[in-house]
């Protein structure tokens, strides 16, 4: 559990958590490698208390040989790189031209100054549009925190054809320059609010209230879960502020990398519960908050598909039946990622996983995938959205709608697990989009406020060719189906021959995915 404490209050029970001392003595010992032998028993450790944001004190600069390089003249300020970075390692900022020029005038001229000036772009979004509106144009800059970047290259993939980011090999002088650049970036203060367009949802991460996942977590390179957590906190914090957010996290990957002692990536209070009872824990928190008159605070339950669809489904169902105003974020990796890759009930048919091994006789998991979002939708007066981080606006709108909904809400999000899915570190968003396009993981929103009939409440907006069985790429004329998706991931590799032809198990799983898609179409009144 973390506690956000600015000044120690001698009259409170949390006086035992001296943040400055914790950071210097405990985090410092872990950083210099003396913690195992040199740290005595500590009361904050005994009580599982970690100050908020200690993850910023962690250094990952040694992990990868490469780091992103920014080419400002190609940048359009789309913010996709900032949005999709799982480690809060790449950040953007808009600065009025006069302020930026004044700052540069005060710097000592040299090679570093030239490099710094090259990190700022003239974009239509922040230069030309404000000027037309009678406001001062602003420069837009992208800077990388070298201590947080793990070199996954997810940002490069997100940038796409803009070619504003590319990976370069670290050299002797690279990291000091990047660090000075990031320090300069931080010294400029926040992006003025007049440059943040609330209708452009990706711009939320220009605001400090949205940056509530500080990074420094021990997640895998390119982790899809971490991106989902950052984006959920951004959409919630931007509207309600960090003082109005709390998290109850179920045991899983998110709690392991989120509380790798003593590093805490969150800037909001959170507590770790067990696999099976996080929703019940949240009911207790919600009850107490309401007793205190804190009804405006947003409470989120975080858990993987193992915690929510399997071990903790009973607790989740009970929470949804209660009608309490609690939000749930299900990080659906389709496998027990935290404990070694065992199959879960959300694992796809044929998927190779522990306890569902592919062999001659048993072709991977033989059961059909449990559709946890569909099940949640059948609970009375429950808001449900199924989405991916690759569908940025769909994700943000779903989270914001869940926060506004007066009752239980569930967001089921496809989260790529690179080791278990068998994909490259930079493929989280690419695979998430393909999962939706192929009907492996259709996106939808079910909102009880939209009408009395299911078809009125259900929207399949965001899926390509929502009236058709499969999406046909208009450029290539190729069909995008489940087999198309499965062919790109190592977890299904043994179901394809050397020519890429699928076996019967994959064909059966494809039919299952199509049947689920037809069900959603029927519920939405399309067929």
**pLDDT, tens only, 383-409:** 999 999 999 999 999 999 999 999 999
* Average pLDDT estimate for 165-174: 95
Separation between Cα atoms, residue 95 and residue 399, nearest integer Å: 29
Strands (DSSP E) found in 254-396: 270-273, 298-304, 327-332, 383-388
Per residue in 30-54, pLDDT tens?
A: 999 998 888 888 777 788 789 999 9
Read off the pLDDT of residues 101-146 as tens digits, 9 standing for 90 and up: 999 998 888 878 899 999 999 999 999 999 999 999 999 999 999 9
Average pLDDT of the chain to the nearest whole number: 93
pLDDT at 260 over 90: no
Residue 10, SS3?
coil
Phi, psi of 271 (to 5 degrees): -135, 145
Residue 3 has pLDDT above 50, yes or no: no
Residue-level pLDDT at 414 = 98
Q: Where are the beta strands (DSSP E) in 400-486?
A: 409-414, 444-446, 458-459, 471-472, 479-480
Q: What's the pLDDT at 16?
A: 64
Residue 499 clears pLDDT 70, i.e. is over it: yes
Residue 2 reports pLDDT greater than 80 = no
- Tell me: pLDDT of 9 over 60: no
pLDDT on residue 266? 96
Reported as a pLDDT band with limits 50, 70 and 90, residue 269 is very high
How much of the chain, in percent, has pLDDT values that exceed 70? 96
13, pLDDT greater than 60: no
pLDDT in tens, 346-385: 999 999 888 777 677 777 788 899 999 999 999 999 999 9
pLDDT at 39: 87
Instruction: Determine the pLDDT at residue 322.
Output: 97
Spatial contact of 254 and 247, defined as CB atoms under 8 Å apart: no
Map residue 507 onto helix, strand or coil: helix
Q: What is the dihedral of CA 201, 203, 205, 210, to 10 degrees?
A: -60
Dump pLDDT digits (tens) for 301-340: 999 999 999 999 999 999 999 999 999 999 999 999 988 8
In the chain, the domains with their CATH numbers are 2-6+16-51 (no CATH), 66-206 (3.30.70.20), 210-523 (3.40.50.970)
How much is the average pLDDT of 180-204? Answer: 94
Task: Give residue 1's pLDDT.
Answer: 41
End-to-end C-alpha distance for the chain, whole angstroms: 48
């Amino acid at each position: 559990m973390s506690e956000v404490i600015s000044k120690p209050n001698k009259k409170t029970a949390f006086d035992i958590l001296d943040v400055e001392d914790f950071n210097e003595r405990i985090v410092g010992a872990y950083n210099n490698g003396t913690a195992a032998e040199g740290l005595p028993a500590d009361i904050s450790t005994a009580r599982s208390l970690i100050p908020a944001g200690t993850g910023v004190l962690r250094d990952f600069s040694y992990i990868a040989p490469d780091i992103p390089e920014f080419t400002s003249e190609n940048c359009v300020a789309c913010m996709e790189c900032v949005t999709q970075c799982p480690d809060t390692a790449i950040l953007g900022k808009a600065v009025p031209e006069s302020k930026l020029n004044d700052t540069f005038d005060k710097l000592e001229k040299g090679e570093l100054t030239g490099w710094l000036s090259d990190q700022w772009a003239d974009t239509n979004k922040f230069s030309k549009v404000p000027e037309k509106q009678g406001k001062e144009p602003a420069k837009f800059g992208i800077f990388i925190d070298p201590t947080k970047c793990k070199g996954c290259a997810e940002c490069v993939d997100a940038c796409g054809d803009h070619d504003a980011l590319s990976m370069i090999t670290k050299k002797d002088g690279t990291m000091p320059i990047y660090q000075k650049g990031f320090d300069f970036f931080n010294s400029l203060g926040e992006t003025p609010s007049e440059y943040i367009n609330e209708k452009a949802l990706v711009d939320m991460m220009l605001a400090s209230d949205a940056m509530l996942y500080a990074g420094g977590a021990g997640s895998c390179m390119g982790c899809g879960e971490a991106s989902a957590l950052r984006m959920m906190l951004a959409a919630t914090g931007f509207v309600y502020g960090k003082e109005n957010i709390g998290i109850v996290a179920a045991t899983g990957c998110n709690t392991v990398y989120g509380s790798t002692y003593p590093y805490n990536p969150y800037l909001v209070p959170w507590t770790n519960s067990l696999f099976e009872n996080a929703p019940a824990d949240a009911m207790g928190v919600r009850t107490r908050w309401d007793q205190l008159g804190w009804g405006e605070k947003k409470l989120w339950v975080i858990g993987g598909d193992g915690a929510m669809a399997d071990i903790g489904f009973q607790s989740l169902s009970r929470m949804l039946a209660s009608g309490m105003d609690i939000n749930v974020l299900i990080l659906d990796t389709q496998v027990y990622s935290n404990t070694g890759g065992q199959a879960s009930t959300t694992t796809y048919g044929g998927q190779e996983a522990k306890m569902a091994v592919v062999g001659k006789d048993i072709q991977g998991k033989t059961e059909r995938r449990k559709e946890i979002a569909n099940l949640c939708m059948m609970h009375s007066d429950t808001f449900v959205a199924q989405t991916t981080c690759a569908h940025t606006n769909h994700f943000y709108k779903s989270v914001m709608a869940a926060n506004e909904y007066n009752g239980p809400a569930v967001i089921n999000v496809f989260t790529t697990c690179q080791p278990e899915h068998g994909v490259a570190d930079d493929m989280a968003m690419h695979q998430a989009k393909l999962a939706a396009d192929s009907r492996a993981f259709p996106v939808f929103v079910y909102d009880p406020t939209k009408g009395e009939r299911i078809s009125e409440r259900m929207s399949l907006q965001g899926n390509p060719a929502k009236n058709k069985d499969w999406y046909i790429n208009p450029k290539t004329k190729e069909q995008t189906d489940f087999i198309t998706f499965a062919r790109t991931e190592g977890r299904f590799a043994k179901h394809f021959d050397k020519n890429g032809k699928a076996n019967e198990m994959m064909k059966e799983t494809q039919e299952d995915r199509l049947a689920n898609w037809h069900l959603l179409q029927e519920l939405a009144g399309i067929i």
